[in-house]
Amino acid sequence: MNTSPLKKFAVAALLAGTFFTASAALKVGDTLPDLATFHLEGKLPDALKGKVVIVDFWASWCAPCARSFPVLDELQKKYGDKLVIVAVNVDEKKANMDKFLEKHAVSFTVVRDGDQKLVAVAEPATMPTSFVLDGEGKVRFLHNGFHGEDTRKEYITEIESLLK
């Protein structure tokens, strides 16, 4: 085949571009990797298997995250042991997280992904992003951002459906 160097170069550049931009974001149907392997700061809940789990990625500088916290706290209180919420903070400085938590005290688990390794695997598209998992650790629902009452209602519908 007589391919010009120009075409060869263009194809190589395209392939290289595709390779480097390939995304491995966590999506519905995927299984969440074992959180214990990511050296997160803070204590993880003992058992997640068999429970509905919400893994929420948030940051102190994110205004919708602050609005989502009271709703998540309400859900944790409403569903008790049946629901486990793990809020994963991605702040670069721990002090920022601590300051935020002083203002927005919550009853659910908060851990910090200081190395940003877990978040790099999950690749949330927005801040906040939450993954709703079933009892087997599979992502069943995904929330990009927090949209107030709409998101709250969606959470309740999804949790109820997974608890059935």
Please report, as ranges, the residues that interact with another protein according to CB under 8 A.
4-6, 9, 13, 57, 59-62, 90-92, 96, 116, 119-120, 123-127, 129
* Minimum distance of another protein from residue 112's CB (angstroms): 12
* Minimum distance of another protein from residue 157's CB (angstroms): 25
Nearer to another protein, 60 or 76 (CB): 60
Paired with 87 in beta bridges are 56, 110
The answer to whether residues 145 and 128 touch, using CB atoms and an 8 Å cutoff, is yes
Write the DSSP symbol of residue 69: H
Nearer to another protein, 67 or 74 (CB): 67
Length of the chain: 164
Nearer to another protein, 25 or 163 (CB): 25
Element counts in the chain: helices (H) and strands (E): 5, 5
